[in-house]
Amino acid sequence: MKFVFFRSKVGVPYFSTIFLRQMFPDLELGYLSLQLTRWCEAGRLVQIRKGLYAFGDITAGLPGLANEIVAPSYLSGLWALEHYGMIPEAVWEYTSVCRVSPRRKVWQTPFGRFSYRQVKFFSGYERVEWDGRHVFLAVPEKVLCDEWYLAGGGQ
């Protein structure tokens, strides 16, 4: 399969192997895995984690990628505080909270740093549109509660 055809058919900046199996049901799993490996070695794709890939030149939709690395999760923490204009500093790490493991995990990718923390109360988020994709983002009040909890206030 040619990369140009693959990219035009996929149509999204990042994707899972499950998504690819649905897009290309006639392809053998071994052939698909080989193509993904070759495109990663050529720099056309980036493997974020097992089963999750992104095109090597994406610049948009990164908040949505944060939701895909660990699911279910929603954006919160310092990143959301900066997004809502509650702090003046720029934040270069996509901070998310999740319901289950990992308790604390960081993925360093070519697109940025994505960190995850576990919280007890997995609620207070909404689904918003971001660069044509749906993203789960904490509401401002929940961001403050998450920051307080993760700083040790809720323990």
pLDDT value at position 42? 96
pLDDT value at position 153? 72
The Cα diameter of the chain in Å comes to 53
pLDDT tens profile 113-145: 999 999 888 999 999 999 888 999 999 999 999
Cβ neighbours around 86 below 10 Å, total: 13
Q: What one-character DSSP code corresponds to residue 12? A: S
pLDDT at 92 over 60: yes
Return the closest-CA partner of residue 22 out of 10, 14, 34: 10
pLDDT range class, residue 151, cuts 50, 70, 90 = confident
What pTM was estimated for this model as a whole? 0.87
Burial of 115 (0-12, 13-18, 19+ CB in 10 A): buried
Burial of 85 (0-12, 13-18, 19+ CB in 10 A): exposed
pLDDT tens profile 70-84: 989 999 999 999 999
